[in-house]
Amino acid sequence: MKLVNSFNVVSLLTKTTRLSTSSLDESYLISAENSTNLIHRLPIFKKDPSWNPNGRFLILINGLFKDDLTQIFDTLLKYHIIDVLVVTEYLNPELYTYNPFENYGCGRYYGRIIEYGKCTRAQQKSLYPYKLFTGLENCTIKIVSPHWPPYSIDPLKKRRYFNKTQIGIEEFILREISVLEKFSINLTFTDDAETFTTITRDMSAIGPLYLLQENRADIMMGGMILTHPRAKAFNYIYGHLSFTEDIRYQVQKSSVVPSWKNVYLEFQAIVWTLFILTFLTFFIIFIILVKPKDKGQVILTMFAYLFLNGKKIGGNSFTKYLFSTWIWFAYLINTYYQSSLVSLIANPSLNYQISNEMDLVKYNLKPCVSQGMRNYLLSVENILLEKNEHEGCETMLESIKTVSKSSDIYTISLYSLYKYNFHRFFDEWGNPSVHSFDQPLSKIVYTIYLYKGFPMLEKLRVHVLRLRENGMIENYIKNMYWQKTRQHNLLEKRNESYVLVPWYVLVGGYALSIGVFFLEILVKKYSSKKPNLLVNCHN
């Protein structure tokens, strides 16, 4: 105090560019002409990212009247400043402080202004004593949360798959802590789950977290994402849901290839090419060596053996030996083709699955991303997306549902949201209709936000870590998923033989086969009987 009174200006901390922008101030020395000047200057401190209401405050007021003390401490209480010493700036100043946690005040009100007396006669050993003796005991904490399962569940919006007594993960955590610290909870639910709060340069919140800065809530929970700007504007508790969430691209699951396409998809293009070349090569060799009279009938006979249709081989030994090589070849090809075709029917092929960002560009997929996710990507990841061209993209769940029905759009959403609502994106046999990329777009950490200056912050963080370390949180999450999964029974898919063929292919095939059938009858009736193809092929 002698040092303070002996100088006009005392620099306790000089900020330079070497100081980390994320560090909080440890102490404040504020000099004001009068109480009015102090009250108008305090809001300026809140705009600084390093603002720390939990620091120690020494306030020097030149013209201080006792009648102004109540207004001063009311203002300090509004900004959650607890460790404060108000000094009248005289040669022998008087010292004042207060304790809003005295008599279970819970940091919301104080019953008296504590006077230490004259500075030279003060009997107090510590001018900044510990004031949180009762902590949060007997306090009622105001908590605001959106309905955002599984992290917070509004009892008025519970569906049939929720247990009547089921609460969200973060509500479970805070209720366990409330038992340890002996405080009660007043929980209010809102309808702004996908409104992403942004922070301006003067540390003002635009969005639901604004309630903390207006002292209308003490805690906000419900799947809140921890970001760097938010960490500067609020206190927070983290670690309870670490390494459990990321943001991913999602597209429609690739569909099954129509069964009739397996007829030609059985072999690759190079195999079909080699097969055709083999067919033509054998035909040419047979024509050159055997010299049959009816070359068309040779082709039909070769096709007959390809389909394992037996036919008597006439001619001499050379003709039989030469054609037997084609029979062996046709048998091997047919056997391999049919065995592979059966395996394709049992395990059908899928169309190409879009699985990375390069595919999104290659196939020109358009975004269907909710506004809340767009705000997050722009403010945190600095990613600007094209405008939505489809309807049904207002919320994350709606965008996932829309993507599950269309192959030309994609969405970006929280992966845990998709996993928790998996039953909405599966068919009755459990086949997914949405594909999530393996590589996440970004990793995120969930947190519980508190107003800046919340008491016992480190102790609450320790409680959260202990709940995670002893497995209580993990066990509760598993129980929630089990409760929900047991409400959705999947049907057992029967193995049925079916072939889906387009109508124009089916009708065309029937017409062609009927025409060939009648043509054969006419040819047999009006044509003269010809000798067997392979009999008397040459002298």
Region of 107 (left: φ > 0; alpha: ψ -120 to 50; beta: rest) is left
Lowest mean pLDDT among 226-230, 310-314, 456-460: 310-314
Residue 82 and residue 107 in contact, taking contact as beta carbons nearer than 8 Å = yes
One-letter amino acid for residue 231 of the chain: A
- Would the pLDDT of 537 be above 50? no
Query: What is the CB neighbour count within 10 angstroms for residue 497?
Result: 6
**pLDDT tens per residue, range 318-360:** 777 788 888 888 888 877 777 776 666 667 777 889 999 999 9
d(CA 309, CA 263): 19
Q: Which CATH number fits domain 140-242+446-484: 3.30.565.10, 3.40.190.10, 3.40.50.150, 3.40.50.1100?
A: 3.40.190.10
Tallying the residues shown for the chain, one arrives at: 539
Q: Cα torsion for 454, 458, 463, 465, to the nearest 10°? A: 120
Region 314-321: mean pLDDT is: 75
- The continuous run of DSSP H or E covering 223 comes out as strand 219-225
Local confidence band at 131 (pLDDT 50, 70, 90 cut-offs): very high
- The continuous run of DSSP H or E covering 413 comes out as strand 409-414
Range with top average pLDDT, 16-30, 124-138, 147-161, 183-197: 183-197
**pLDDT tens per residue, range 267-304:** 778 878 888 898 888 888 888 887 777 788 788 888 88
Q: Which two tokens stand for residue 331?
A: 């048998």
- Would the pLDDT of 498 be above 80? no
d(CA 284, CA 274): 15
Residue 252 and residue 433 in contact, taking contact as beta carbons nearer than 8 Å = yes
**ω into residue 129 within 30 of 0, thus cis?**
no
Region 121-126: mean pLDDT is: 70
**pLDDT tens per residue, range 238-269:** 999 877 789 999 999 988 777 667 667 677 78
Region 91-98: mean pLDDT is: 86
How confident is the model at residue 196, as a pLDDT? 92
Query: What is the CB neighbour count within 10 angstroms for residue 292?
Result: 18
Q: Cα torsion for 455, 88, 49, 245, to the nearest 10°? A: 0
d(CA 45, CA 423): 49
Beta-bridge partner residues of 78: none
- Name every residue whose Cβ is closer than 8 Å to that of residue 108 and which is 6 or more positions away in sequence: 77, 100
Q: Cα torsion for 348, 351, 356, 361, to the nearest 10°? A: 180
Which pTM value belongs to this model?
Answer: 0.76
Local confidence band at 162 (pLDDT 50, 70, 90 cut-offs): low
One-letter amino acid for residue 203 of the chain: M
**pLDDT tens per residue, range 478-495:** 988 888 877 666 555 554
Region 30-55: mean pLDDT is: 90
The larger pLDDT score, comparing residue 423 to residue 497, is at 423
Could you give the maximum distance between any two Cα atoms of the chain, in Å? 141
- Would the pLDDT of 1 be above 50? no
How confident is the model at residue 259, as a pLDDT? 66
**pLDDT tens per residue, range 434-482:** 999 999 999 999 999 999 999 999 999 999 999 999 999 999 999 888 8
d(CA 128, CA 109): 19
Q: Which two tokens stand for residue 502?
A: 């387009």
**C-alpha atoms less than 13 angstroms from C-alpha of 282 in its C-beta half-sphere:** 20
Percent of the chain scoring above 70 in pLDDT: 84
Lowest mean pLDDT among 46-50, 431-435, 535-539: 535-539
How confident is the model at residue 302, as a pLDDT? 83
d(CA 331, CA 460): 76
**pLDDT tens per residue, range 166-204:** 899 999 999 999 999 999 999 999 998 999 999 999 999
